[in-house]
Structure 1
Amino acid sequence: MEKETAAIQKRLQAEVESYQSVQKDFQKLVQQRQILIGQLNENECVMDELNLLKGDNKVFKLFGPVLVKQDLEESRQNVGKRMEYIKKEVDRTNNNLESLEKKLAKHRDSLQKLQQQIKILT
């Protein structure tokens, strides 16, 4: 009976370590998503400002320490492409988060079963 309890405790420890690893990955993805959403909001504000401009307005882009004149339509396209890319990254991150949530749920179930087995044996 002690061997069985020891074996279950080893499995429990391994399961806890796996759960903690997945949880760390989950937290990293949550932080990554927050950064992406911040970038998306920033670009949406830029696009709103660009959409207020008329064709004869001048737009400048910062390249290092220098402001360089840029075509208004080109600026809109660049910001639009950046927004599309960020949205795709947010979607990808959300899909990864869903996958990790499922893994976490499986680990929690497994942990509960192992804990119940230990209670039964003790």
Structure 2
Amino acid sequence: MAEIQAKLQALSEEFTKLQQDLQDTVQSRQKLEAQKQENVGVQKEFSNLKEGETIYKLVGPVLLKQEKAEAESTVNGRLEFIDKEISRLEQHIKELQGKMEKKKGEIIQVQTSAQAAAPQAAAA
């Protein structure tokens, strides 16, 4: 019976670790989604600019002039990177959910076998 309890405890700890990993990954995805929205907003602002208007980039405490094409390229590159990261994290979330379901099944299986063994142990 102690062996079953130890196995159940180990499975429970593994499940808890997977839950924490999933939570961390979801938080990372939410941060990326917020960054994506900020960059989409910047991209929209670029489309509203008239020809010849100046764009400034904040570098530390200083504002530096930047060419529109360079600024747009930077924002587009960021958006591309963020989209790839979001896709990667979504795939990781799916994998973690699959592992959690498998672990949950293992826990249920061990609990079921423990319940089945309990009456037999009591009779002995």
TM-score under structure 2 length normalisation? 0.92
- Measured in 1, the distance between the counterparts of 2:56 and 2:10 equals 56
- Measured in 1, the distance between the counterparts of 2:59 and 2:6 equals 57
Runs of 4+ in 1 over 6 A off after TM superposition: none
Describe the SS at the equivalent of 2:31. Answer: helix
Which residue pairs with 1:94 in the alignment?
90
Task: Select which of 70, 73, 77 maps to 2:73.
Answer: 77
Deviation of 1:53 (Å): 1.1
User: Identity percentage over the alignment?
Assistant: 36
| Consecutive unaligned residues in structure 2, runs of 5 or more | 119-124
- Answer yes or no: is 1:29 the counterpart of 2:14: no
- Answer yes or no: is 1:59 the counterpart of 2:55: yes
Query: RMSD value over aligned CA atoms?
Result: 0.8
Work out whether residues 55 and 72 of structure 1, in 8 Å CA contact, stay in contact via their aligned partners in 2.
no
Deviation of 1:57 (Å): 1.0
| Count of aligned positions | 118
Describe the SS at the equivalent of 1:61. Answer: strand
Which residue pairs with 1:16 in the alignment?
12
